[in-house]
Amino acid sequence: MAPPGTRAIVYEDPDSRASWGPRGTDAWYCGPELDHYQNCKFSVSETRSYCTSGSFDLFPQHCLLPEFTPKQHANEVHDELMDAIQMLEAPAKKLILTKLAAALQSLAAANAP
């Protein structure tokens, strides 16, 4: 079995869910449920509670993930940062852009010949 803290999907009972409702819920594996034979205990972030289920899929953390070069990583961080800044309201956007400008200026000064 996977170690506690592994991401999981806990599947809903088809008889108790709406016909177009989600088939599964995102959760975190906590371990075996000692009071219920072959069931496991999960922490569900959406409801902030624990549930017991025997119908689930685990996504272990030891899966292979792509490794980025420093340039690829910087490009991905740039894209994500731009998306996040565009969603901010004006005062928060101004504050973060001011901080970023100061950090970029100090970085450029440190790398100048």
**Residue where one domain finishes, among candidates 16, 39, 59:** 59
Angle 89-92-94 from CA coordinates, rounded to 5°: 100
Q: Structurally, how many domains does the chain consist of?
A: 2
Give yes or no: residues 26 and 50 share one domain: yes
Q: 87-112, pLDDT tens digit by residue?
A: 999 999 999 999 999 999 998 888 77
In a domain, 48, yes or no: yes
Give yes or no: residues 53 and 84 share one domain: no
In a domain, 24, yes or no: yes
pLDDT, the chain, mean: 85
Closest-CA residue to 42 (of 1, 12, 5): 5
* DSSP labels, 23-59: SEEEEEEEEE-TTSTT-EEEEETTTTEEEEES-EEEE
Q: 56-81, pLDDT tens digit by residue?
A: 888 876 555 678 889 999 998 999 99
In a domain, 16, yes or no: yes
- Global pTM reads 0.47
Please give the residue range of the domain that contains residue 100.
Answer: 70-111
Give yes or no: residues 78 and 97 share one domain: yes
